[in-house]
Amino acid sequence: MISLVRLNLSSNSLTGPIPSSIGNLTSLFYLMLNRNSLTGNIPESLSALTFYVDLSYNQLIGTIPNSFENFKFSWLYEID
């Protein structure tokens, strides 16, 4: 699973925090976790990995981590 490039778990009724272990998916470029019931903070590890992040329509709290300022390929990320 280390070479996973696209992870789409949209609209799966997922609950709880986003696992920081997603940071171990070093080949991940597209991360779609939108339209779930995810809670907690956004893990900083996401900013180093992805080209596209969609975390919209969840119950995330806190601020967007400063590490997202250096988002490698920051052409798009969606966070509500």
Q: Is the pLDDT of residue 12 over 90?
A: yes
d(CA 76, CA 67) in angstroms, rounded, equals 15
The model's pTM: 0.81
Q: Is the pLDDT of residue 10 over 80?
A: yes
Check whether domain 6-78 has CATH 3.80.10.10, yes or no: yes
Q: Which two tokens stand for residue 48?
A: 């180093």
**Cβ count near 58 (within 10 Å):** 21
Query: Residue 70's pLDDT band (boundaries 50, 70, 90)?
Result: low
Domain ranges, ordered by start, for the chain: 6-78
CB-count burial class (<10 Å; 0-12, 13-18, 19+) for 73: exposed
d(CA 21, CA 25) in angstroms, rounded, equals 8
Dump pLDDT digits (tens) for 44-68.
888 877 678 888 899 999 888 887 7
